[in-house]
Amino acid sequence: MTVKLSSILFLLVLFVCRTETIAKPNLLIIQTDEHHFGTLGCYGGDIVDTQHIDWLAEHGVLCTSYYAVTPVCSPSRASFISGRYPQKTPVVTNNIPLNDGVVTFASILKQQGYATGFAGKWHLDGGGKPQWSPERKFGFDDNRYMFNRGHWKNLEIKNSKPRVGARNAQNQPTYSLAGADARSFSTDFLCDRAVEFIQEHRDEPFCYYISLPDPHGPNTVRAPYDTMYADVKVPIPTTLMRTPGQTPKWGKGADVTAAQLRKIMPAYYGMVKCIDDNVGKLIQTLRDEELLENTIIVFTSDHGDLCGEHGRLNKGVPYEGSARVPFIVYAPWLLPEGRMVNEALTTVDFFSTILPMMDVQGNYTSDGRNATRLLQGTLQKPWEDIAFLRSTPGNEWLAAVSAQYKLVISAADTPWLIDVQKDPNEVVNLFGNPKYARVAAKMRAGLVQYVRTHNDTHARIPQIQAQLSGR
């Protein structure tokens, strides 16, 4: 009888502990930089074996229409952590410091008793480069391994502090690989710091944000990833060569050649593979610490990279390769396995979604929408499938996006309406086609409501103002 009673008490303690743990799930965010979603297997990629990221998608929720609200580093990051549109943070372009009064999800989680930390590229404290451990933490208590700017390849700890390991003759940090290995290469180094944080805080709720500087250029990666894709046949986008009628003025940029793509893309694939292997390391750490089933894992990027599409590299325009980013959420007790969400979301919606998912209460302000039920598939009414993007200053544009359509209104051109499902190359302008008049009107009305609600100054530009009013 005593043995049975002891067993019952033991099981009861286990149940209570498990309940309390689920009540405060951990949060692990893995964010890459300038990452084309199409390099991931779960998004249709067939060159790089991204088995670990694909595992998250297989056992979690994958969003197919998730966008950087501004497809440039700093504005996207500011919106992601705050749930506010860039003009309110006021990080509308790179290297603008985040306003002191901005409340982040980390600030709120810290108030709820979470251990919080951040490793990697921050890009929200102005022009400092690399500027380790910024004084303003915005809720990320352990920011020892946070650096403000740069795409460093070789990192080390010297005299108990992190620094860039690759240095020139003047002892200044450089982007050189400089013999980086599995301990010092930036992706490995930063993920190792995450492993240490997880192990240190395994007995309390934690939030850790890993911001990897890859696969942003320079396109270099450590061995063996540097030669892993040397012999791959690099696919050349059909839009590398396009006619003037297929190119809106906001889409023009410096041309890249097929020869250049064949030279730079193998290292890009190598960087993605290194990232995936480190995602596997993080998943295994959580499994070993018996935390995997109690941790929300988010995999995403700050913006995309056109990788030669439309004859361009990098980002900054509303094309899919630039603005659309991977977004995968793993939370096995809350979200169904293998669910795919096609409705449009942006980085602004993350703040408003992650806190309710973690059952965090509070009177926080956000411009975003709570997409928890959308991710779960338990919505009682249809989701309003429209979201809004904006450019950085210069070549200004605004865009409304849905799972199927994209309307771009710019200061440089007439409106462009694109059916991204039927025209994934985004070369046919449907604006003015009577068959799509209702779609165009609905998306333009959404943009008008957005600029009024959120005081988007782009709408004051005469050309954009005229197009919004239908003139």
> Residue 4 above 90 pLDDT?
no
85 φ/ψ angles, rounded to the nearest 5 degrees:
-65, 150
Q: What is the pLDDT of residues 330-362, one digit of tens each?
A: 999 999 999 999 999 999 999 999 999 999 987
Average confidence (pLDDT) over 285-314: 97
Burial of 403 (0-12, 13-18, 19+ CB in 10 A): middle
State residue 23's pLDDT score: 74
pTM for the whole structure:
0.94
- Burial of 247-273, coded b for 16+ CB within 10 Å and e otherwise, reads bbebbbbeebeeeebeebbbbbbbbbb
Strand locations in 84-177 (E)? 115-121, 142-147, 155-158, 161-164
Q: What is the pLDDT of residues 102-144, one digit of tens each?
A: 999 999 999 999 999 999 999 999 999 999 999 999 999 999 9
Domains with residue ranges and CATH for the chain: 23-376 (3.40.720.10), 396-468 (3.30.1120)
Distance CA 352, CA 345 (A): 11
| 403 DSSP 8-state letter | S
Q: Tell me if residue 23 falls in helix, strand or coil.
A: helix
Average confidence (pLDDT) over 368-387: 95
> Residue 6 above 60 pLDDT?
no
Q: What is the pLDDT of residues 400-445, one digit of tens each?
A: 999 999 999 999 999 999 999 999 999 999 999 999 999 999 999 9
Do residues 32 and 268 make contact, with C-beta atoms less than 8 angstroms apart?
Answer: no
Q: What is the pLDDT of residues 214-238, one digit of tens each?
A: 999 999 999 999 999 999 999 999 9
Average confidence (pLDDT) over 190-209: 98
> Residue 299 above 50 pLDDT?
yes
Average confidence (pLDDT) over 283-311: 97
State residue 22's pLDDT score: 63
439: amino acid identity, one letter: V
Which residue from 47, 51, 32, 39 is spatially nearest to 229, judged by alpha carbons? 47
Average confidence (pLDDT) over 143-148: 98
State residue 15's pLDDT score: 36
